[in-house]
Amino acid sequence: MLGQEKNRLQLPASKIILKSYQALILCLETQITEIDDILQKFLQTDPVLNQRYQTLQKIAGVGPIVATTLLGLLPELGTLNRRQIANLAGLAPHPYEVGKQWAIEEQKGAEPMLSASSLWPL
């Protein structure tokens, strides 16, 4: 949403509308900062989540945003094996069998936010 509002600043519009966009952008940035601070405090107070957070960040390509997103969407991380967590996330293929037909379905029932956050660069 923040990116959309920043893009709208480049559209031709009256000064009143531009001020409205700028006010909304400032409000969104403030809220994002506050939420990030709350999440960091929560991670610091819970030793189990903090350990999982630190472990995730040791993986190449996983930074604070991805680690926080994964812990928020999959709190089971660290308690299930890789097959169970892939199944829970909807990333494991499942066979589809009807009579003599057989096929592998990919990502059926995947958590939409997890798929978007794990496949798109942030």
pLDDT, one tens digit for every residue, the chain (122 residues) = 888 888 888 887 788 888 888 999 999 999 999 998 998 898 889 898 899 999 989 999 888 888 888 888 888 888 888 888 888 877 777 666 666 665 555 555 555 555 555 545 54
Give which of 93, 88, 95 is closest to 114, Cα–Cα.
88
What is d(CA 11, CA 24) in angstroms, rounded to the nearest whole number?
15
* Longest alpha-carbon distance in the chain: 66
What is d(CA 29, CA 110) in angstroms, rounded to the nearest whole number?
30
pTM for the complete prediction?
A: 0.62
Q: How far is CA 120 from the centre of its chain?
A: 10
Q: Give residue 84's identity as a one-letter amino acid code.
A: Q
Query: What are the beta bridge partners of residue 101?
Result: 98
pLDDT at 23: 92
SS3 101: strand
Q: Angle, nearest 10°, between helix axes 112-119 and 64-73? A: 160
